[in-house]
Structure 1
Amino acid sequence: MPDIRYDGQTYPLCDGQSVLECLIAHGVSVPFSCRSGICQTCLMRAEVGQPPDAAQKGLKPALKDRNYFLACICNPEEDLTISLPGREVARTPATIVGMELLNAEIMHVSLQSHGQLEYRAGQFINLYQKENLARSYSLASLPGEDPHLHIHVRRVPEGRVSSWVHDGLQPGDTVDIQGPSGDCFYLPGAPEQGLLLIGTGSGLAPLYGIVRDALAQGHTGPIRLFHGSRNRNGLYLIGQLQELTRTYSNFEYTPCLSGGYVPKGFTSGRAHQVALSEVPRLAGWRVFLCGHPEMVKVAQKKAFLAGASMKDIACDAFTSNAITG
């Protein structure tokens, strides 16, 4: 099996282990978050040796050319000497300018980046608590309309980063961010296309940005947003979304509750089930799925069976890590 050389030490790679798993197993502290090749927190560079193509999925061509790879999905076939990213993927300082509880679990955080940050609503940034501990949060803000970056941070039980955000951060603090990344955003060019957006929990964050982006760019096709939770307390931004429905005739918002009691004005059922029953034929539609991984997985399959092309289904599964969430 190949060996991994990092920071002057050599670590044997066990059968089936990723580079990230190998380093963690040997007690090496390196940044990581999702462990599924999405957030790019575990980005590393091969100084000697060639990482497999699969480990460079989603990276910009300039990073691929410099042998960068994602450690969590890297299963090398040869020895690698690796290092952490250089200046071309440096982190950017940002100042906390506002914090507001949106419900009992979700904190709305506004950040002012110290550097120029070009992004699309719905993409995500990595927020660092310290050098090797970060989490990915989707951007609910809209470039050109919102003066600051907006993220929604759900408190994860025993989560180190989310607990730090809720209990330790305050306006005026400076943090490090990295990004943006991700392909979950509005694509102009087909203004008449139907848009179906389904989210649970803080999965509303990117969807809120995407909806406002589409409307701001003059989208004329139907836009249907379904946001779900077990009970009323798990939903948020209800007033803002209802205001958008009054302002734009092509936008419709459906808050869904899967628990026992469903008050007037809410729909009973899981968000993806309600959405796919109300919009059963999705040929030609673009679909956005954000939130709990199991919901995203099931809804992606059902949307495809309902006629949506796989290239028109954008997914953003919100994974959590029991150790460092």
Structure 2
Amino acid sequence: MPELCCAGQCWSVEAGANLLDALNLAGHRVPYSCRAGSCHACMVRCTAGQPEDARPDALPFDQRAAGWRLACQCRVRESLNVEVYDPEREGIPANVQHLDWPAKGIARLRLQPQRPFRYNAGQHVLLWTEQGVARPYSLASLPAEDAWLEFHVDCRNPGAFSEAVRHLSLGDTLRLGNLHGGALHYDPLWENQPLLLLASGTGLAPLWAILREALRQGHTAPIRLIHVGYGYLGEALEALALSQPQVEVERVEEGQEWLASLQPTSRRTIALLCGGDGFVEAASRRLFMTGLPRGQIFSDTFVSAKHDA
């Protein structure tokens, strides 16, 4: 049986055991949310030995070269020494600069990082609370314009992270973990192509940033944004649409039928989608059926939280 070592403790595990489960069963409390290799909450660093990795493409080359792996995607086939991700050591501290509730149960959180933090519109980052709760959230801020990092947190359902957000005060510290994503982005080469932005719930966050990035870069073709579900940022979106004649904003109530009538204005349309997996899958299928090539459909799916502590 292979031996697993972490934080000075060594123990035997069954060959083929899931690395995340083996660490948590031994009391090392590695956080996770999706168990699909998407949230990056369960990062560990292998200092000796190599696990069997089902998602070697989930992390950038430099992180893999440094030994980082996603524990949920790894199985123990040989003896391993691992280090659990330590947000105190690896993360960037960021202070709560602003917290308000633009809609019932939706928190708008603005953080001021204590060190430079580079990102692109559409990316997401792992946020850590002081209690060790980690969850990925998309950035709603625009790096070229905003002096803060903005996140939209859905606190309508119970959860360790949403509960922590409800108790935050100005000046409190969170930590910024791994930055990832990039499927949602704005490419200057799209300047003359129509944009279709589809969001459900707080999937609006990255698309709000991308919409402003497109306008900042002088996008000239029409931009249509459809937001499905509970509404927030309504006034800001309406003001933007009034000031930018090529921008059209539409809000769809949750449960309202709209997908069957969705039709891109052109085969050259670039579609950007963000929301729950069911929303993204259904909207992507509809766009493809209307004739939009798959290479013009970009999406980011909010994984369902199975565990966020």
Among 244, 251, 254, which residue is 1:248 paired with?
Answer: 244
- Partner AA of 1:192 in structure 2: N
The alignment status of 1:201 with 2:189, answered yes or no, reads no
Deviations 1:243-277 (A, max 9, x none): 12122222211100134xxxxxxxx425xx16xx2
Comparing 77-86 with 124-133, which one deviates more in the overlay? 77-86
SS in structure 1 at match of 2:129: strand
- Partner AA of 1:10 in structure 2: W
CA contact (8 A) 2:228 2:252 kept: yes
SS in structure 1 at match of 2:207: helix
Q: RMSD value over aligned CA atoms?
A: 2.6
- Partner AA of 1:29 in structure 2: R
What displacement does 1:280 show?
4.5
> Percent identity over the alignment?
33
CA contact (8 A) 1:158 1:323 kept: no
In 2, the alpha carbon distance for the partners of 1:256 and 1:55 equals: 36
TM-score, structure 1 as length reference? 0.84
**May I ask how many residue pairs the two structures share in their alignment?**
307
Match of 2:143 in 1: 143
CA contact (8 A) 2:50 2:80 kept: yes
What displacement does 1:45 show?
1.6
Match of 2:13 in 1: 12
Match of 2:169 in 1: 170
In 2, the alpha carbon distance for the partners of 1:193 and 1:135 equals: 34
CA contact (8 A) 1:43 1:84 kept: yes
Gaps of 5+ in 1: 260-267
Among 228, 231, 237, which residue is 1:235 paired with?
Answer: 231
CA contact (8 A) 2:122 2:138 kept: yes
Among 290, 301, 308, which residue is 1:317 paired with?
Answer: 301
Q: Taking structure 1 as reference, are residues 156 and 34 closer, same or farther at Cα in structure 2, changes over 3 Å only?
A: farther
- Partner AA of 2:290 in structure 1: A
After superposition, where does 1:150-229 map in structure 2 within 5 Å?
150-166=150-166, 168-183=167-182, 184-229=184-229
Match of 2:72 in 1: 72
In 1, the alpha carbon distance for the partners of 2:91 and 2:292 equals: 37
What displacement does 1:11 show?
4.7
The alignment status of 1:269 with 2:265, answered yes or no, reads no
What displacement does 1:3 show?
5.1
CA contact (8 A) 2:34 2:306 kept: no
What displacement does 1:194 show?
2.4
Comparing 111-120 with 28-37, which one deviates more in the overlay? 28-37
Gaps of 5+ in 2: none
CA contact (8 A) 1:281 1:307 kept: no
- Partner AA of 1:255 in structure 2: R
TM-score, structure 2 as length reference? 0.89
Q: Taking structure 1 as reference, are residues 24 and 285 closer, same or farther at Cα in structure 2, changes over 3 Å only?
A: farther
